[in-house]
Amino acid sequence: MGQTDMPMIAAVQMISVPDVAQNLTQARTLIGEAVRQGARLVALPEYFAIMSGDERAKVAVRETDGDGPIQSFLADAAREFGIWLVGGTVPLEADDPGKVRNASLVFGPDGTRAARYDKVHLFGFDNGDERYAESETIEPGHDVVTVETDLGRLGLSICYDLRFPELFRAMGEVDLIVLPAAFTYTTGKAHWEIMLRTRAIENQCHVLAPAQGGRHPWGRRTYGDSLIIDPWGEVLNRLAQGPGVVSAPMDHERATDIRTRLPALKHRRFV
């Protein structure tokens, strides 16, 4: 397969703010840039539509599953640009009226929703200076989700899920892991790249990781470093900080060659 025959995938990096409309405008611009780079699949970061110093802000704008301005934006953008669009995360109604489901939604080129994955692992961190407790405003999901596309089989995950390799094993054999994130600067600097490359290596698949990356208006700094990684663990493209797009070809032949020469997935003893 020649370079021009490989489907392009892209990660959008943002510095989202508390205003939904402003974030959607920026997201659309960056999706358009990804398409101009040739991307057939584009992924947005976690919390792309809203981030705030008030963790309850996302609860205030949560949407009913299947209806709302954020979901309409994603469907319309996928249809307009004719792409597969992984909508970072969207705050959807939860069983608990005071919380949301942090859901990653996938839309096909015709604007039809193809999959929904609710974040399973909820981030908790307290080092005395920084404290995060997603369980206070987010209700966890329970299901492993994959989706078939014409680019291959996608495995869906979100941010803190990265630390739990059993989730990715439960996906089975996938061609691409997509992991929208909003990593803190502290944890990202220590662990982001090494864990993403490890997930790519052990699952012998491409990894697409769009991130929040920069200083947000209320002072929080997200790590950024949106990455695209191949099945051998090599970084194909990255963006350290600031809004932007990174794209790279998805080389199916290389993935097949790696799995043939080193059939580690077939050598598993515990399944």
Residue 1: what pLDDT?
Answer: 42
CB-CB contact of 217 with 81 (8 Å): no
Taking residues 238-252, what's their average pLDDT? 98
Tokens 């025959």 -> residue: 5
> Which residue numbers are catalytic?
46, 119, 159
pLDDT digits (tens, 9 = 90+) for 16-55: 999 999 999 999 999 999 999 999 999 999 999 999 999 9
Residue 5: what pLDDT?
Answer: 77
Q: Which amino acid is at 213?
A: G
Distance (Å, rounded) from C-alpha 119 to C-alpha 268?
A: 26
For residue 182, pLDDT over 60 is answered with yes
What's the mean per-residue pLDDT of the chain? 96
> How much of the chain, in percent, has pLDDT values that exceed 90?
96
Residue 10: what pLDDT?
Answer: 98
Residue 2: what pLDDT?
Answer: 44
Domains and CATH numbers, the chain: 8-261 (3.60.110.10)
Q: How far is CA 79 from the centre of its chain?
A: 19
Q: Is 39 left (phi over 0), alpha (psi -120 to 50) or beta?
A: beta
For residue 234, pLDDT over 90 is answered with yes
Candidates 63, 73, 91, 68; CA nearest to 30 is 73
Which structure tokens are listed for 226?
């949106």
For residue 256, pLDDT over 50 is answered with yes
Taking residues 240-256, what's their average pLDDT? 97
Residue 254: what pLDDT?
Answer: 95
Which structure tokens are listed for 19?
């205003």
Residue 65: what pLDDT?
Answer: 98
Residue 124: in which H helix or E strand, if any? strand 124-126
